[in-house]
Structure 1
């Protein structure tokens, strides 16, 4: 349905208004979701996440900054980084200006008037519109710059209608889109070569919600890898600038808690101790990760101390994202430019490509990028999924972080590709994994409407896939068919059977046992994809050359993709049946003109391995 709508709009000359129409349609859907209930509605004494966000507006609007993280911690004490507090302060000031009773100190607790709820819902949509929406638009224009305009518009539409974020932010009630929007702006800056600005955006993402740490290994390894690519001189300068920029941004965020603005040096511990709640234990609710799934058999909190579980969690998380970090480092070393005949500091630019009309599309200086940029989305998926599966105090809503890079990859994929199937499966199961939370919030109708609309929009039919379980030819087809059948069975069974008194959490546990294998598979697939994308860029053994003669040859002549290379990239998705129509070249490392185009590798991880410069037609 999404493709047909984009095609219909373009044929009728609505290209310029299409983005505005998409934004308005999504805003309308968000307002419709806001008509439903939310977290903790009419459930005293502490209500839910909605009341937490409102209470933070209350305390930041009335109390001095040094009391924000210490005031009445038993009643939704502020436990997010300073940027969230500043946003709450802005909203609190606006609420006080409109109606002081909405944020009256202490006396407004639990307020649920129609007008206050309208104000709260509006704040989510406004901050989503000023952070998340522009980030998605820039992503569709920057990362798909060599693709057709239809593909860019379709990617924007699919990203805007991400179902899990819809249900959490605009139904359950949170502001995750701000954090995710800042993280996506980081990627946009990296894609255009503005690394320092990208570092600022990532610190702001961390400064809004500490969960953005899920992306830190991938972001950090990418920036270090770029420093390696540039060499000791230029790379060293970039490393120092990145360090200074990062530290300066953190200092600005925490400035009110740092002397001389704070009364004592220990004031910084007030926000830090609230941001990292290690005292709360390994997990609380049923979450589709390793610890909750394995806890069905191994009662971790009875078998091990909290200190041991914390160390085990940190170790497994580290091992989980280590492969992508290692692949990023190896690819950078194999493709370093400072050993090339051009000398250190060679400018890294993508080769000239052609747009959808066949005309030359010369890259501007601002579109230069590192050749390892295509690895970044897969590294983000690997890193964030590792944290979700293995880290400490994971909530069901944090699946939104792995979903972000997965949806970015999915947005440019064709329906017959492996990336499309993994993306559709990941989004559907992510929404299903939050079913107990959504059901508790009274959003069952919204859950079914949003997920059915999403699948219809992308042209994915889970019911049809169930029928192919006995004829599935790939692992992702088989996994999808089995998981969708289990989800359908559980949804049909739950209203008909009352769990026994001995197992009151029977269906949440079954939800965990169905969802966790999918997330583990996505984690493994992200590692596999990192390796394969690295091979597509550098070759299995790297494209670093040992002799000056070879370097001279590689800088003057492109390396034609051999038959073995094509075979190797089939699993990556570059060659697929009738789509492998055009021949192309993959340049060897050694000079700036020999670096592979980002679009040719990132395009959708599922089209031709031989690069189709125009991109797939809709």
Structure 2
């Protein structure tokens, strides 16, 4: 525990140094939510339109903002002033909100501690490094500005309790998490199938009793969150705010997922058809701003609807659900949850690039279980962090994000190399009881001991080298050679190239789920 506090202390020092740095409009979003919850009665929280930054998170997060607003009002009453505080950027507001995120990360600290307390010391320390020093969390929470660390604390606690066989507690923490941020609901099918098959077993009577118990827990949590709004007849307004499907298929910066390829394929086909003489109209609807009437933002390919993305996510998730139904194993729950979030990230509606953290944080718990897990996580973590670079677009933050990624990459390399050193076979891997990890290298063969060495193959090395090439082009060569022409190309290249890495991660996880027994 003492070493974990050292890790957390170092991370906190870095976060404090980043306070004066760039912050996105999300800081004003959350400041306005402080004002809404402090200045208005609960019955008006989800109706307020004083600002464009309307409250669109579930009630528990609104209650959390109300709690923070008490302290904000003591520090500077204008922070929580609904009208005169619009776009308030005083240092008091910035410092209070930044520090509130840092303090809320104590819950992440507790979550990662509970999740790793039964691991050997070397593996435990490595997971602490991967989570507490995650550059993605630093970029999203402590530069861009959000409260993801606090939320991931709830997720890690839920996964930890399920892995320990404490299903009721695991279900409780996940239900609470959903009432803080509904975007975590992508993993709900995994939780439902797992709890139904693992917790509600033992015969008809016992199974029904346990189903009633877990159902009562979930209903109690949701009643505590949504009950006051049901009482005031506002539940439809709350749901409408939480699920604004009119926002469009993609976010303003295209998240590196499957829809990047779909969009580019549509544009490519339309371009070729126009070249050969077909009259292909230019779409009037936007990929990011929502559909305009019945118009489609696609020129050739079929329009994608929220229901289509929902079906695709379920189809992609189905192998994991079938595997969980057949054989619900507590030790596999972290993998299943991470896979669910990978499916949601790749095929979901209006996915934010920040959602890649939903994949990398749970997978940190299993990155230490085998050599192949470590190599997969190394690649995924680099890609996930790099895909967040466009969030910090100002020149003064460029050295910070590059330094964070470089330090994280070097640290991961040394940590994984220490965990899987040359000529030392690691015991206790998750797959050791099934088969030893074996692979071949062109023109050479390896002994079982040498196979435990942490070393990336030439394909992974080439792909990571490509990340460097994409960044050099977008940051240096494109402005020098093309100036202001085609300004969207660097962002498009980052989205497309990182999407390849995320697609690889999904295929790798899917293959693991299908083949593991």
Q: Deviations over 1:402-422 (max 9, x none)?
A: 112222211x246xx111111
Which stretch shifts more, 277-286 or 76-85? Answer: 277-286
Contact 2:200/2:211 (<8 A) preserved:
no
Contact 2:108/2:152 (<8 A) preserved:
yes
The residue aligned with 2:91 is 114
Distance 2:10 2:500 in 1: 35
Contact 1:375/1:530 (<8 A) preserved:
no
1:455 paired with 2:409, answer yes
Report the CA distance between 1:303 and its aligned residue: 4.7
The residue aligned with 1:51 is 28
1:379 paired with 2:336, answer yes
Distance 2:180 2:81 in 1: 24
Contact 1:69/1:271 (<8 A) preserved:
yes
Please state whether the residue corresponding to 1:111 is helix, strand or coil: coil
Please state whether the residue corresponding to 1:112 is helix, strand or coil: coil
Report the CA distance between 1:302 and its aligned residue: 2.5
Please state whether the residue corresponding to 1:107 is helix, strand or coil: coil
Distance 1:509 1:205 in 2: 33
Distance 2:29 2:355 in 1: 17
Distance 1:122 1:89 in 2: 16
Q: Deviations over 1:542-591 (max 9, x none)?
A: xxxxxxxxxxxxxxxxxxxxxxxxxxxxxxxxxxxxxxxxxxxxxxxxxx
Change (3 A) 1:436 1:153: closer
Q: Deviations over 1:281-304 (max 9, x none)?
A: 211321101112320121572258
Change (3 A) 1:457 1:413: farther
Please state whether the residue corresponding to 2:366 is helix, strand or coil: helix
The residue aligned with 1:24 is 9
Distance 2:158 2:309 in 1: 28
Q: 2:324 aligns with which of 328, 345, 361?
A: 328
Q: 2:348 aligns with which of 391, 400, 418?
A: 391
Segments of 5+ residues of structure 1 without an aligned counterpart are 1-15, 40-47, 333-371, 463-469, 536-618
Report the CA distance between 1:319 and its aligned residue: 0.8
1:403 paired with 2:336, answer no
Q: Deviations over 1:477-535 (max 9, x none)?
A: 344222211111122222232257663210111111111111111111111222333x1
Report the CA distance between 1:315 and its aligned residue: 1.5
1:446 paired with 2:400, answer yes
Q: 1:437 aligns with which of 388, 391, 398?
A: 391
Distance 1:408 1:71 in 2: 40
Report the CA distance between 1:156 and its aligned residue: 2.0
Report the CA distance between 1:83 and its aligned residue: 1.2
Report the CA distance between 1:276 and its aligned residue: 0.7
Change (3 A) 1:487 1:239: same
The residue aligned with 2:210 is 238
Distance 1:453 1:524 in 2: 28
Distance 2:459 2:186 in 1: 26
1:67 paired with 2:40, answer no
The residue aligned with 2:270 is none
For CA contacts below 8 A with separation 6 or more, give which structure has more relative contact order. Answer: 1
The residue aligned with 2:422 is none
Distance 1:501 1:158 in 2: 38
Distance 1:440 1:202 in 2: 36
Report the CA distance between 1:123 and its aligned residue: 0.2
After superposition, the CA RMSD in angstroms is: 2.5
Q: 1:138 aligns with which of 114, 135, 146?
A: 114
Distance 1:80 1:409 in 2: 30
Contact 2:338/2:359 (<8 A) preserved:
yes
Segments of 5+ residues of structure 2 without an aligned counterpart are 268-295, 417-440, 445-450
TM-score normalised by L of structure 1: 0.69
Q: Deviations over 1:233-288 (max 9, x none)?
A: 332221121111111110111121022xx1xx3x1112111111112121132110
1:204 paired with 2:176, answer yes
Contact 1:282/1:306 (<8 A) preserved:
no
Change (3 A) 1:174 1:397: same
Q: 1:268 aligns with which of 231, 235, 247?
A: 235
Indicate the structure (1 or 2) with the bigger Cα radius of gyration.
Answer: 1
Contact 1:381/1:523 (<8 A) preserved:
no
Count of aligned residue pairs for this structure pair: 452
The residue aligned with 2:277 is none
Report the CA distance between 1:159 and its aligned residue: 2.1
Q: 2:193 aligns with which of 218, 221, 236?
A: 221
Report the CA distance between 1:461 and its aligned residue: 11
Distance 1:303 1:73 in 2: 37
Contact 1:26/1:160 (<8 A) preserved:
yes
